[in-house]
Chains A and B, each alone.
Chain A
Amino acid sequence: MEDVIIGLEIHVQLNRLQSKMFCGCSTAYHNSPPNSHTCPVCLGLPGSLPVINKKAVEYGIKVGLALSCKIEEETLFYRKNYYYPDLPKGFQISQYDYPLATQGHIMILGDDDKERNIRINRAHMEEDPGRLVHAGTIDKAKYTMVDYNRCGMPLLEVVTEPDLSSPKEARAFLDKLKSILEYLDVFDGSQEGSMRVDANISLKGGDRSEVKNISGFKGVEKALSYEITRQRNLARRNIKVVQETRHFDELRKITVSIRSKVGAHDYRYYPEADLTVMRIASWVPAIKATLPELPDAKRERFVKQYGLADDHAKSLTSEIRVANFYEAVAAKAAPKLAAVWIADVLKGELNYRDLSIESFSEKHMTEIVQMLEKAKITENGAVQIIRELLDKKEGSPQEIVQSKGLGKAEDDAVQKAVKEAVAESAAAVADYKAGSERALNFIVGLVMKKTRGKASAGEVHRLVKEEVEKA
């Protein structure tokens, strides 16, 4: 979409940390009673003072480095002043001048199927506010409850330049960012509300609107699509888009205006004197040394090391857990075959069931690939085993092969039949060697007949080809 300009601000909870940003409260507040993970500091009680969680800053620097950012020599915290019931101090401790990291970038696959470089303006640390629970929708609620468990969670805000040009690209960017964060082991995307997005969007020549606090990647795509349509409709009717902040209503799938530019906040940023300036330049080398292999590098390595097709390598490396799963299997079974079965089959079956890779055991997958490799089961049989394991959550591939009778003709029998068939088909072999690929089909048919159809056609084709080429 050539005329669409999108920039994102992504709030990432560094939820792999044990304690909050400025106090010792645990970050594991999910499924806890409201306001049970709080202390005088994160509740902002009079007289309480913040203390920086050094590990959170290290995590922030780690992300900055992974996004190819420049890490500042010194960094400090500011107060962002505004009134809201989820903000118990009446200000949020955030960063302003001298943020942790600036000027980075992420590569994504653009709408034109080409790699595109999306620039990162900055990444800075801040504390998460509490959570408001409205009785009903935000504009009609009779009352609102506040849960401060989330208050003080370490947040990293990543701000892009307006380099994205469609909701799909925005989604691709978020997928890639999430992938990198999980590689770094600083973020667990499975927790609700762990990544929230503010999107700035405009059509070329028009003013921009900001859609705040969208949770979920699908939500971002929907909110942006709605905004583009809304702004196009206004343009069509010659109505100017006004600069304003909008809220995405997830139930109604529309955006609604919250405040115009006139009502915009003046946050009165000023340095937080309760905290001291951090000289972080000296931290960088040690943190750099801990950076793991990131998705793009892993993808390249998979292509080189395992001889995978690029799309398989990409699919396997988009999630660190899948990549690790694959490598565990590939260490013990044919790597290419494992790639096909994990990327094309297992991931699809998991998606269909809304399950993650943890739902399947590496050991089982290894056994399945090994059986395929040795042609002990057919491709159909392998799919059945995977489904059975996912749905029944019990048994082993071996047991399923036996109980369902999925065992293919014995290897020896197939090998023997192949050898016989090739020996019996001198003419077809000659044809094949003369260039006729189709000549092999005759021999394959012969083998199938000899094994009474128990062998898998694909596997037989492979074996026949091998045998013919030897001959």
Chain B
Amino acid sequence: MLSELKAKLLAESCEEYLCRLFERIEKSSLNAFTTLAKESALKEARQFDKNPDQGLLAGVPIAIKECISTRGIETNCSSKILRGYIPPYDAHVIERLKAEGAIIMGKTNMDEFAMGTSTETSCFGPTKNPWDHTCVPGGSSGGSAAVVAGGEAPCSLGSDTGGSVRCPASFCGIVGLKPTYGLISRFGLVAYANSLEQIGPLTHTVEDTALLMEVISGHDKRDSTSAKGERRSYLPGLGEGISGLKIGIPKEYFGEGVNKDVEKAVWDGIHTLESQGASWQEISLPHTRYALAAYYVIAMSEASSNLARFDGLRYGSRMGEDKDWHTTFSAIRAQGFGPEVKRRIMLGTYALSAGYYGRYYLKALKVRTLIKEDFLRAFKEVDLLASPTMPIPAFKIGERINDPLSLYMADVFTVPINLAGVPAISVPCGFAGHLPIGLQLIGPHFGEAAVLRAAQAFEAATPFHEAKPEVI
């Protein structure tokens, strides 16, 4: 898709294309964009039309999740507390995008500080699922998924801490990749749970995802967890097929709690891969049932520390009256954070407290090691793993927001991947009624090339990525 778009932009006018997108966005009822960088984007488009450059993404407009720092464009994590914060610097991925000629269109809605599975905890209100406006788009990168699925942007970036790219990709019927921890610099990504999260692309096709990965991956010395070594290339390997590929089916990822339509679509997908030359076998990831608990303890603990800097003193919203320091910043935090963020900060603070640290945080880290070992063992036997991305299709807006536990449970197949640090992609694999379903393909550390190749082989054999929502 992006390669055709690039050709079209060169042949026609980037400015016109962008204007049409902005018109569509302004009429849209999805509530997916939060901030539009219309002026700067159109200026760059005009520049491209006059003097097209040769970058990998020359002239391609892209939407960016609210939690990725963009110089000069408000970056508020869809939180009241960060309203008005305009970063003085670009995240590493934004620098890379700009260097390859991409045009930043604006910022997309998300669950507040990426804490959620539905994009309902945003201070801007929920984003709607383009396939059904009464349903959530998934989260936390719901805005980034909805703009792509809804035709408001050709591609976008999200971030994935426990499934936040893959879940909305699954719910919105597009492709979303969570790369290996360390493959993409987090410099400029506003931290929620820094030991778990990675930035990832959301696109219509696997090839588009591979193209974005070419641009945004690679070492950055400003992120000490960024992997060193040569830059990897993802495009050349696509289309090589999956003959002989061994796929593991983790038995813990099927059965109870998984929607019947989802289970069927995923099995159909596995059989499609088989018909393309892959083989499959059942395997076990025995510690899966502890993953959710470990994930939430680690994520909330880290969040309680990462979000401590938001006190209204230096940037963001300064609400209420100035009194003494303690009263003032407490009042700002009380008004600035939404209920889900407060819940996670408080639980995380508790888990890190003296006397509880060993019982919760340290124990969760031990579980994390066991889960990682599950994956390492599995990848000695098989090349990739396949599972549902989400156990369910998109649910109704408002249906689960007052039941945090049932929302947390929905992350059951995505969080183990973040705990292990391995890459995983979600590709459209069918429908439950009118709502899309995602197939998750999981690879070993730095196995993106194999993941993308398999996903592309699947995509080439199925029509699901071509389906477009009718309800706009």
Contacts and interface: CB of A to CB of B under 8 A. Distances in A.
Interface in B83-104: 85, 87-89, 91
Which of B75, B191, B361 is the most central at the interface, judged by chain A CB atoms within 10 Å of its CB? B191
Interface in B205-261: 221-225
Interface string B169-196: 0000000000000000011111100110
Interface stretch (B148-156, B300-308, B431-439): B300-308
Given A270-B361, A274-B194, A47 B69 contact: yes
Given A270-B352, A273-B194, A276-B225, A47 B87 contact: yes
Interface string B343-378: 000000100111001000100000000000000000
A49 interface: yes
A413 interface: no
B309 interface: yes
A43 interface: yes
Interface of B: 67-69, 75, 77, 82, 85, 87-89, 91, 186-191, 194-195, 221-225, 301-302, 304-305, 307-311, 313-315, 325-326, 329, 349, 352-354, 357, 361
Contacts of B308: 81, 83, 89-91
Contacts of B302: 273
Contacts of A52: 224
Q: Is the interface of A mostly helix, strand, loop or mixed?
A: loop
Interface in A14-65: 40, 43-52
A47 B305 contact: no
Nearest to B361: A270
Given A91-B305, A266-B353, A268-B353, A45 B325 contact: no
A47 B68 CA distance: 8
Given A47-B190, A90-B311, A274-B194, A268 B305 contact: yes
Contacts of A48: 89, 187-188
A274 B309 contact: no
8 contacts: A47-B87, A47-B187, A47-B189, A50-B224, A51-B222, A81-B305, A268-B304, A270-B352
A68 to B, nearest CB: 31
Contacts of A216: none
Given A40-B89, A85-B325, 10 more contacts: A45-B88, A45-B315, A79-B305, A81-B308, A83-B308, A268-B305, A268-B357, A273-B194, A274-B194, A276-B224
Nearest to A80: B305
A190 B224 CA distance: 34
Interface residues of A, number: 28
A40 B88 contact: yes
B85 A46 contact: yes
Which of A44, A90, A275 is the most central at the interface, judged by chain B CB atoms within 10 Å of its CB? A90
B305 A49 contact: no
Contact of A268 (B85, B189, B307, B352): B352
Contacts of B194: 273-274
A386 B197 CA distance: 67
A47 B77 CA distance: 11
Which of A52, A83, A270 is the most central at the interface, judged by chain B CB atoms within 10 Å of its CB? A270
B309 A89 contact: yes
Which of B82, B301, B310, B311 is the most central at the interface, judged by chain A CB atoms within 10 Å of its CB? B311
